[in-house]
Chain A
Amino acid sequence: MMKPKTLKDYKKIAGKIAISQLEQLSQNLKGAKVVHVNSTREGGGVAEILNWMISLMNDLGLNASWEVIEGNEKYFDVTKAFHNGMQGTPIRLTGEMIKNYEDTLNTNFKRLQPVLEEADFVFIHDPQPAAFLDMCPNRKGKWVWRCHIDSSNPSREVWKYLRSKVVNYDASIFSMPTFAQPLPHPQFVIAPSIDPLSEKNCEINKKEIKETLKKYNIPDNVPILTQVSRFDRFKDPLGVIEAFNELTKTIPAELVLAGGRATDDPEGQVVLEEVQKAAADNKHIHVLMLPSDAHRTINALQRASTIIIQKSIQEGFGLTVTEALLKEKPVIGGNVGGIKLQLHNYYTGFLVETPEGAALRIRELLHDNEKIKRMGRTAKQFVIENFLLTRHLREYLTLLVGLKCNLTNYVLTESKDFNS
């Protein structure tokens, strides 16, 4: 277990100026009570972001906390349907589903009411806790709905319901402009980020990488290709296997499909079984179901890989792409969501539409080691400049200062404590 980080720890990688900007911005927010609410403490990008964000906000003098929705299997079935619906899957919502969702949130609200009512700022992450706002008429702070999902083309029925739950928020945040939906309040765009010092991203030695490969019986005498993601249809693991089968007709390689299970994703087991079936006759395909805290293992697998794949057919932002780029790995990614923002053909990786496209680009790269190295260096610099948590935190602090000043377009700050 790594000890919680402080801002000072990030000076070396993010630079002195980036840290100083955070300190200066936070002068206007000292003591502000900031509450984040989501539906899982482990697994998935949101939980990872909240892990560092709470700790660094507190380090900057804000009073930040993180609350998690507790629900039964039925509740998570409904929220998974919301999730899929927001990403475009046609969903039929029944009265029973809505009742289950709202009942669960009502029960949770009773537990969280004092914290939510007293908060100066509340961030509600994704659809799972979205209906909280209606349950909290005595709120004193500003409420922001933070949508991490690619909601560019949502199921009409799901969005109709969810829109009614988020329409009264003070603001909303989307990861990309294309994800935003028409709403009557200000909609901000903040791309997510990664923590370069987390167990998943920190530097690790070659010995540990070798041991990890040995543990999972992955040979390293041929190029290793890895996709790290939940076993989810939107991540297209079957498409990755198809691309690998096409590739290995000419070039030997090993494929690692490494994923974990998030507590709010009931579909994962079904998809995992489909993937295991597709990989069953191929000893060069390694399907790894990892525990949610296997961050160092994922780190080692990514670093051991020659190329990283993220062949999603729908994607929020694709933090696994960011992680790979930071580790100087070119990425072959699906031409969707935030992956488009991170992969620039011939610079940081390649965007592809099909398994054939993925196989073609992997083959192209495997024939040119220099290109792999050059793209890797560019990729790392790109992430350092744009997608580290310091940039992310700066945008959140900027938004908080903006909200404090009622979202005027231009805010000249004065350094003072939040409640003074």
Chain B
Amino acid sequence: MSNLTVLAGAPVLLVQLVVSGILVGAIFALVAYGMALVWGVMNIINIAQGEFVMLGGYVVFFLDRAGIAPVFGIPVAALVLYVVGIALYHTIIRRIVGRDMFTSILATFGISILLQQLANQLFSADIRTVRSGLPSLFFADGMITIPEVDLVGFAAAVVVGALLVAFLRTTRMGQAIRATAQNARAARVLGIDTDRVYATTFAINCAICGAAGGLVAMTWFIQPYLGLTYTLRSFMIVIVAGLGNLAGVIVAGAGLGVVEDLAGFVLGSEYQTAFVFMLLVVILVGRNLWLARERRSLR
């Protein structure tokens, strides 16, 4: 734990970790919000969430290699993933809406493996990244480094999130989505085409993940197996924040980013992912203990 003493002795390092944690946390929050959307509207926990992020990253990567800058690549990735989402909905997802959670978890797990292995076969397991060519900003005598691309990623995540929220609040489809989330049967009675709502919701989620994936490619790197980590991160954020709690998702996302950065520094980067998943287990166990104290009563 010598890194812990280093941290205690140099508070400016703490600031560095917190800031970079918040910046990456915005991307986590974005992906988590998409997962919460699908969960809330369709009662499906999408285990393939991270794979959509991964695919978005590859789209931006290959466009970048072809000379198209990420600023255009990201919207294209969102569009491509939107189409993928529609296709997946009509072939698979439509048949598991309304079934029990176990079925949806198993089915989306299958999709996750399918996409993961597809990416592995098509793109190889090599790590890919998109060079932004942006400089790094230095603060506090060079003790704090913030790559400009991280700021861009943060800003982009905020923009996409804001667009999504605006969409849900102002457009008719957005309102239809929110109505269906509250009560699908009532929505149908009112004439809302729930099938279209589900398809759109799922596709929007894929699009969000696609955009986020582009941001990940820019600020970090892409490889075929990064999916599950993102899925479980999103899951953690959603259960901590609760469905339908946007502010909670943002705070939890930022919090997770910070905690991960700290853990990576103190425990070493090899243990960083292990820590994230351990946190997930601890959160679930803790959440259960907290629920047990309230003790639901049977009717």
Co-complex (A, B): no
Interface residues of A (CB under 8 A from B): none
